[in-house]
């Protein structure tokens, strides 16, 4: 990589990423450079007209090559932000999305509105642990449990809990099977992509674990047993479950929720883009 200064280096990386069809090439170029050089945004701005550190250029080049292959930026930098904290991510876990923060917001609002002082909360299909850890940190008086069937994801979630000093109980296993007792709130972002949609996912998404994405033929392979588990483990009063879904399966999820939870208030919630993103199951 030959270059004059940081600014021209960013331009040349931007062109390379743009050429392979990456949408926000300029943003990615800046973030890769900051990650390779260990710089903050402010430091990067201050160095724009200076030569880049020679001893970091090989690292930067290998990161750019990975991004050109459409590997997600967050796997290359090794972290992502969720609910204002940094979480370690690797190819073993789904990269937490901003729309999933809604599950955290809904849970915090429910617990506050209902005045539940020491809520017992479960996050099923925890992946990197982003939801469970955020809830444990936002509500220190809560008892949070998290489960995931993937041993590799479980390791990442535990690392995040340690790094962020979050107190919660992690369980490796199938859905709610490893849990005992009943919960005030159950949240989950399960795999819900229609199997027929898997081959046409964005290039970056195909690099994420299919165990985290594939919901089977009708998108409900995991949601069906998840609902059964929730039925058994959600307190019958003053309790709620919030499950992230894809708009493509909203009718089927709504029908299943109405059938499984006849005594609960069921509604579909939209994300900031106006798309149905969550089914809410609340008991008075
Ligand atoms: C869509 S990802 C969600 C990860 C994280 N909660 C988030 O929102 O970023 C789904 C997760 O479910 C896990 N999973 C899939 N099937 C499962 C099952 N039967 N029991 C528990 N976890 C499962 C996958 O390993 C993956 O980590």
Among 29, 44, 69, give the residue marking a domain's end: 69
Question: Angle, nearest 10°, between helix axes 57-68 and 6-19?
Answer: 20
Counting ligand 1 atoms within 8 A of each CB, the residue from 94, 192, 197 with the most, and so the one to mutate, is: 94
In a domain, 126, yes or no: yes
Q: Which DSSP category does 249 fall into?
A: G
Three-class HEC string of 131-186: HHHHHHHHCCCCEEEEEECCHHHHHHHHHHHHHCCCCCEEEECCCCCCCCCCECEE
23/112 same-domain check: no
The answer to whether 124 touches 178, Cβ cutoff 8 Å, is no
**Ligand 1 mean position to 149 CA, how many Å?**
7
Q: What is the pLDDT of residues 196-245, one digit of tens each?
A: 999 999 999 999 999 999 999 999 999 999 999 999 999 999 999 999 99
pTM (2 decimals)? 0.96
Percent of the chain with pLDDT over 70: 99
H and E: helices and strands count for the chain: 11, 9
CA distance 236 to 242: 15
CA distance 75 to 93: 9
Q: What is the pLDDT of residues 249-276, one digit of tens each?
A: 999 999 999 999 999 999 999 998 999 9
Predicted local distance difference test score (pLDDT) of residue 4:
84
172 ligand 1 Cβ < 6 A = no
Residue 140 tokens read as: 């220190």
Among 46, 69, 92, give the residue marking a domain's end: 69
130 ligand 1 Cβ < 6 A = yes
Q: Which DSSP category does 95 fall into?
A: P
154/218 same-domain check: yes
62/97 same-domain check: no
Average pLDDT over residues 70-84: 98
Please give the residue range of the domain that contains residue 177: 79-283
146 ligand 1 Cβ < 6 A = no
Total residues found in the chain within this entry: 284
Predicted local distance difference test score (pLDDT) of residue 236:
96
Q: Which atom in ligand 1 lies closest to the alpha carbon of residue 97?
A: 9
Nearest CA to ligand 1 atom 13: 125
240: helix, strand or coil: strand
275/138 same-domain check: yes
175 ligand 1 Cβ < 6 A = yes
Nearest CA to ligand 1 atom 9: 96
What's the CATH number where 217 sits? 3.40.50.150
211 ligand 1 Cβ < 6 A = yes
47/143 same-domain check: no
Nearest CA to ligand 1 atom 24: 212
Listed in order, strand segments (DSSP E) in 89-204 are 120-124, 143-148, 169-172, 185-188
In a domain, 1, yes or no: no
CA distance 188 to 223: 9
Nearest to 103 by CA among 126, 143, 131, 76: 131
Q: What is the pLDDT of residues 94-116, one digit of tens each?
A: 999 999 999 999 999 999 999 99
CA distance 228 to 38: 47
**Ligand 1 mean position to 100 CA, how many Å?**
13
CA distance 94 to 71: 13
Residue 259's contacts (CB-CB under 8 Å, 6 or more residues apart) are none
**Ligand 1 mean position to 171 CA, how many Å?**
12
Query: Does residue 136 register a pLDDT over 60?
Result: yes
Nearest CA to ligand 1 atom 17: 149
Pairing of β 265-270 and β 239-244: unpaired
In the chain, how many domains are there? 2
150/273 same-domain check: yes
């Amino acid at each position: 990589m030959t270059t004059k200064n940081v600014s021209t280096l960013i331009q040349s990386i931007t062109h390379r990423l743009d050429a392979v069809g990456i949408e926000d090439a300029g943003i990615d170029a800046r973030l890769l450079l900051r990650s390779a050089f260990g710089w903050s945004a402010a430091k990067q701005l201050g160095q724009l007209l200076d030569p880049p550190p020679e001893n970091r250029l090989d690292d930067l080049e290998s990161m750019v090559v990975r991004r050109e292959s459409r590997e997600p930026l967050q796997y290359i930098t090794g972290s992502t932000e969720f609910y204002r904290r940094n979480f370690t991510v690797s190819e073993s876990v789904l990269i937490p999305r901003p729309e999933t923060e809604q599950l955290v917001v809904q849970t915090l609002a429910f617990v506050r509105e209902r005045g539940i002082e020491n809520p017992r909360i479960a996050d099923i299909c925890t992946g990197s642990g982003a939801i469970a850890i955020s809830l444990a940190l936002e509500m220190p008086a809560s008892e949070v449990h998290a489960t995931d069937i993937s041993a590799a994801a479980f390791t990442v979630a535990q690392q995040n809990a340690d790094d962020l000093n979050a107190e919660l109980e992690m369980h490796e296993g199938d859905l709610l099977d490893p849990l005992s007792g009943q919960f005030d709130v159950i949240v989950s972002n399960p795999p819900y992509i229609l199997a027929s949609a898997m081959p046409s996912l964005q290039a970056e998404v195909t690099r994420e674990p299919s165990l985290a994405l594939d919901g089977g033929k009708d998108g409900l392979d995991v949601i069906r047993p998840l609902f059964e588990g929730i039925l058994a483990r959600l307190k019958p009063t003053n309790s709620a479950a919030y499950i992230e879904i894809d708009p493509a399966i909203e009718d089927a999820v709504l029908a299943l929720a109405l059938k499984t939870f006849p005594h609960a208030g069921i509604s579909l919630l939209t994300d900031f883009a106006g798309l149905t993103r969550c089914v809410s199951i609340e008991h008075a």
